[in-house]
Amino acid sequence: MPIKQLHKWTGIALLSTMLMACNSNDNANTSANGTSFDPVVWKMVTAWPKNFPGVGTGAEKLAQNITTMSGGRIKVTVYGAGELVPPLEVFDAVSRGTAELGHGAAYYWKGKVPAAQFFTSVPFGLTAQEMNAWIYHGGGLELWEEVYAPFNVIPMAAGNNGVQMAGWFNKEIKSIEDFSGLKMRIPGLGGEVLKKVGGVPVNLPGGEIFTALQTGTIDATEFAGPYNDLAFGFYKVAKYYYYPGWHEPGSVSELIVNKTAFESLPADLQSIVRAATRQTNGDMLEEYTSLNNDALEILVRDYDVELRALPSDVMQVLQQTAEEILLEVAQEDVMSQKVYDSFVQFRSKVSAWHSISEHAYIKARDGR
């Protein structure tokens, strides 16, 4: 064979070999050092509509962070509310192992785990900053893990939307008597407070609230704040928008992980899951803080929403009632009492500090 033709066929053979190698690498998973691996494939079920701003996109970001930070060694697929399991059955699905991960809020499981309510938000309780401090440095995380241990589930803080709004109403709230007979979508301990002052709490997932308010199934609702509420379109079916969110001053979104699945991971991947979750926890709060007021301006300016403050005497009754409810929940079981004691002690400590730091500074900055 002539030299020129030999070079031609040698080049073709080399190119063919390179293409085969590329195809082989595309089909295999390799680490940075070239070692091949089989990825851990996990499902994440959520209590939120698919890609809903804030909490829904937060679940997606968390899944992406876990996949990216693990170098593809863990691949997470996210399922919105109802796609794989109903939104309020996320906890059971993760406990059973139907899904390895769940993204929701701990107070949704209060019927199964009363003490869980403390790990979402407590009426007149801790702000987002204070909740993170209690969870990470005040013993809260250890208690949270202890509460969930019997269910084969590991909890992690995976987001926070800060102080919420008090909610959407079609009548003015002038006195505590205006809550009498009021059917309101409000979960967790806030719902128990509403019940005690004469209201009717209804626990609905986010995707069902608009229709319930539109059809009169409920008279009022809360969800999070302007960023989420604008996306839901509540301004179309309610007139008055009240503040402040006494019932949820710092609401934690949680990631729950099936304990068996988590413990099957090597130590470095366990650390990556925790690190990715903590990163997402901070990112969500920053997102809400950045966008809430922009959304509020749109609601008031473009949709003529009437922004109202709850009367001070109403707030006083709600706060007194909230403290009574917390004591009642604490007496339900030993674990609830244990969590209550830790929470109340931390609140007292951090309130004393914030009275001369955060609160005093903001009051001075804003000229109040």
Question: What is the percent of the chain with per-residue pLDDT over 90, rounded to a whole number?
Answer: 88
Q: In this structure, are 203 and 254 located in the same domain?
A: no
Overall number of domains in the chain: 2
With a cut of 80, say whether residue 18 has pLDDT above it.
no
pLDDT digits 0-9 by tens, 57-91? 999 999 999 999 999 999 999 999 999 999 999 99
With a cut of 80, say whether residue 117 has pLDDT above it.
yes
* 183-185 and 220-221 strand pairing: parallel
Distance of CA 58 to the CA centre of its chain: 8
Q: In this structure, are 132 and 233 located in the same domain?
A: no
Q: In this structure, are 86 and 152 located in the same domain?
A: yes
pLDDT for 33 equals 55
Q: In this structure, are 211 and 114 located in the same domain?
A: no
Q: In this structure, are 143 and 262 located in the same domain?
A: yes
Q: In this structure, are 149 and 269 located in the same domain?
A: yes
252 vs 267: CA distance, rounded Å: 26
Give domain status of residue 322, yes or no: yes
Rounded to an integer, the average pLDDT of 212-241 is 96
Give domain status of residue 112, yes or no: yes
* Predicted confidence band of residue 120 (pLDDT cuts 50, 70, 90): very high
Q: In this structure, are 145 and 271 located in the same domain?
A: yes
With a cut of 80, say whether residue 30 has pLDDT above it.
no
265 vs 247: CA distance, rounded Å: 38
Q: In this structure, are 241 and 255 located in the same domain?
A: no
Q: Which residues make beta-bridge pairs with 169?
A: 220, 240
Q: In this structure, are 172 and 197 located in the same domain?
A: yes
Give domain status of residue 136, yes or no: yes
271 vs 70: CA distance, rounded Å: 10
* Predicted confidence band of residue 37 (pLDDT cuts 50, 70, 90): confident
Q: What is the pTM of this model?
A: 0.88
Q: In this structure, are 100 and 204 located in the same domain?
A: no
Give domain status of residue 316, yes or no: yes
Give domain status of residue 18, yes or no: no
Q: What is the CATH number of the domain that holds 267?
A: 3.40.190.170
Which DSSP helix (H) or strand (E) runs through 364? helix 358-365
pLDDT for 31 equals 58
Q: What is the CATH number of the domain that holds 200?
A: 3.40.190.10
pLDDT digits 0-9 by tens, 121-171? 999 999 999 999 999 999 999 999 999 999 999 999 999 999 999 999 999
Give domain status of residue 25, yes or no: no
Rounded to an integer, the average pLDDT of 271-300 is 97
Q: Which domain does 237 fall in, by range?
A: 167-245+293-328
Q: In this structure, are 235 and 141 located in the same domain?
A: no
Give domain status of residue 227, yes or no: yes
* Predicted confidence band of residue 36 (pLDDT cuts 50, 70, 90): confident
Q: In this structure, are 227 and 317 located in the same domain?
A: yes
Give domain status of residue 20, yes or no: no
309 vs 242: CA distance, rounded Å: 5
Contacts of 25 (CB under 8 A, 6+ apart): none
